[in-house]
């Protein structure tokens, strides 16, 4: 992949960053496309499907041009499901959501609980180290939960929405990182690539692949298994994309991952010393946006 961002580590402040036009691709649009997909995935897991969301899915274009056959297959499955919807489809999906993600209506205590803590803690419990770590990550980026959000902050929908926020911020930086601008915007874009990658590696990729494998065990319809597979495949593809961007732009992803991991360990150490897992939640911000995370910036 051709260079797309200026290598700021070289310390050359006189050379303008590469622009999207120079590379034959609008990187700001690419980042906004990533943000839109993360937003779609987040909405699928945040709550039951309502009429508005299902209407959105009916009107949506389902791409089949991804180089990843798993992505194409997941989109095809979603298209097939939506196209063959019946009058009781929303009821079926509501029941599936409760059974698959909440464990309702089953005779055992198991489900594909959409929390990182369940998949990464020793005893598979909620409200463990992962929850503390992602709260700190959100705070470091100046984002907070909507007032109506009451689930633990390491919920899949929230982690995916965090990636949406970061991708949109990166798009904003890239949109102004042209030859007439200072290198501050390009520097911000480079840092945001590292931040996204670190969160992807240190959190989402540590548990979503197993979660995606569990979803079909509990869902009766193909809707949520298809969305789970689309999420798994999207994360895998996004990891490769960010690695290509970093290689072309001189971004040290290993440093970003290590720094974020050290921050997570510091959070864990502080919480252990405090001996209090029920600490205060992030400051809530009220907006009209239906997204889960609000971005004061």
Mean pLDDT of 33-41: 97
| Of 22-36, 158-172, 222-236, 239-253, minimum mean pLDDT range | 22-36
Identify the pLDDT of residue 276: 56
What pLDDT sits at residue 176?
A: 72
* Residues listed for the chain: 297
Q: What is the pLDDT of residues 81-102, one digit of tens each?
A: 999 999 999 999 999 999 999 9
pLDDT band at 274 (very low <50, low <70, confident <90, very high): confident
Helix axes 69-83, 223-249, angle to 10 degrees: 150
Please state at what angle helix 156-176 crosses helix 129-140, rounded to 10 degrees. 20
Instruction: Reply yes or no on whether the pLDDT at 12 is more than 50.
Output: no
pLDDT score for 167: 96
* The pLDDT of residue 262 is above 90: yes
144-145 and 293-294 beta bridge pairing: antiparallel
Once rounded to an integer, what is the mean pLDDT over residues 252-271?
A: 95
Q: What is the dihedral of CA 162, 168, 173, 175, to 10 degrees?
A: 170
Average pLDDT over residues 46-71: 96
Query: Residue 217: its pLDDT value, please?
Result: 94
Please name the helix (run of DSSP H) or strand (run of DSSP E) that holds residue 144, with its range, or none: strand 144-145
How high is the pLDDT of residue 148?
A: 87
* Domains of the chain (ranges, CATH numbers): 15-294 (1.10.3480.10)
Is the pLDDT reported for residue 246 higher than 60? Answer: yes
Of the listed ranges 83-92, 172-181, 239-248, the least confidently predicted one is: 172-181
- Could you tell me the pLDDT band of residue 273, with boundaries at 50, 70 and 90? confident
pLDDT 10s digits, 110-140: 899 999 999 999 888 899 999 999 999 999 9
Give percent of the chain above pLDDT 90. Answer: 70
- CA Rg value for the chain: 20
């Amino acid at each position: 992949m051709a260079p797309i961002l200026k290598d700021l580590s070289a310390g050359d402040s006189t050379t303008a960053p590469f622009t999207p036009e120079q590379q034959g691709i609008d990187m700001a649009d690419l980042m906004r496309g990533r943000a839109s997909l993360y937003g779609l995935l987040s909405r699928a897991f945040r709550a039951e499907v309502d009429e508005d969301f299902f209407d959105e899915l009916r009107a949506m274009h389902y791409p089949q041009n991804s180089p990843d056959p798993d992505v194409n297959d997941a989109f095809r499955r979603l298209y097939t499901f939506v196209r063959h919807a019946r009058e009781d489809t929303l009821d079926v999906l509501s029941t599936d959501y409760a059974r698959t993600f909440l464990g309702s209506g089953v005779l055992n205590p198991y489900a594909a609980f959409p929390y990182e803590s369940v998949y990464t803690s020793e005893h598979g419990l909620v409200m463990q180290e992962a929850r503390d770590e992602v709260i700190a990550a959100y705070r470091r980026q100046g984002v907070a939960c909507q007032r109506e959000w009451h689930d633990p902050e390491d919920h899949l929908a929230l982690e995916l929405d965090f990636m949406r926020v970061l991708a949109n911020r990166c798009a904003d930086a890239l949109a102004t990182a042209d030859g007439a601008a200072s290198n501050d915007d390009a520097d911000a874009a480079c840092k945001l690539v590292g931040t996204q990658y670190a969160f992807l590696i240190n959190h989402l990729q540590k548990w979503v692949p197993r979660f995606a494998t569990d979803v079909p065990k509990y869902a009766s319809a193909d809707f949520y298994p298809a969305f789970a597979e689309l999420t798994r495949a999207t994360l895998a593809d996004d990891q490769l994309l960010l690695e290509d961007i970093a290689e072309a732009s001189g971004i040290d992803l290993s440093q970003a991952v290590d720094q974020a991991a050290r921050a997570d360990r510091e959070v864990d150490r502080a919480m252990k010393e405090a001996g209090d897992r029920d600490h205060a939640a992030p400051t809530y911000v009220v907006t009209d946006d239906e997204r889960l995370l609000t971005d004061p910036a």
